[in-house]
Amino acid sequence: MSSQQLAGKTAIVTGAASGIGRETALVFAARGAAVLAVDLDGAGLASLRAEAGSRDLDIRVFAQDLTVSGAAERVFAHCAGELGPPSVLANVAGKGGDASATATTDDDFEFFLRMNLTTTFTMSRQAMSVFGDAGGSIVNTSSTFALVGVRGSAPYSAAKGAVSSLTRQMAADGGRHNVRVNAVAPGLIATPATRGKITDGLFDDLVTRSRPLPRVGVPADVAHVIAFLASDDAAFVTGVTIPVCGGWSTTRFRD
């Protein structure tokens, strides 16, 4: 895999202020892409910009709430003005949470759909409309909870399952326009949002000890797969969701 695998590409990465999104922006830039990092967290973006500058990486930042009307159009217009038209979109922004269906209100359900599905849809729709004849690549973020039924995760799992379904459908729509659409499905990854779960003994038994690769994932594990799917190395790959979970979603394993 070339160290300049994404050279010449301009990419938008959402959820880039922390965790998987931040690492994805850094990996993209390290592999030659010009990156617009998007998030609502301005302080996190400033930290990312400082790190990118210290490593001589081409990352610009744009603070934007992706759930508001017109956000996708503003992001793509800003990218075009700062870096030129993008050919890669990494939809990493999302929101996790644990609740059963009976413990989920209508408002809760709408929140998880808006944070995980609607933002992915509006950003992907905008990408499809602006990529042009040259085409491009969209990489969405699903979850292993979209692939395996897990107690107490109804709204989150439903939203992420819809992301995987949307990925397949948009791949079908985009293929004749040279647009590839794929997704990653992370398992338990060490990020600020998952710190509490990682130290929870019950969750450790449910996830970490029940998979063949017995460690907690790190953001780079996911970011490198996203970079592959975004690159021309994956030129004949579209419509798939790749689990990045140490085997948890595909095996039954006990120590």
For residues 190 and 215, is the Cβ–Cβ distance under 8 A?
no
Is 156 one of the annotated active-site residues of the chain?
yes
Q: Which of 156, 187, 197, 222 is catalytic?
A: 156
Amino acid at 50: A
d(CA 152, CA 145): 11
- SS (HEC) of the chain: CCCCCCCCCEEEEECCCCHHHHHHHHHHHHCCCEEEEEECCHHHHHHHHHHHHHCCCCEEEEECCCCCCCHHHHHHHHHHHHCCCCCEEEECCCCCCCECHHHCCHHHHHHHHHHHHHHHHHHHHHHHHHCCCCCEEEEEECCHHHCCCCCCEHHHHHHHHHHHHHHHHHHHHHHHHCEEEEEEEECCECCHHHHHHHCCHHHHHHCHHHCCCCCCECHHHHHHHHHHHHCHHHCCCCCCEEEECCCCCCCCCCC
Residue pointed to by tokens 């999104």: 21
Q: Which residues are catalytic?
A: 156
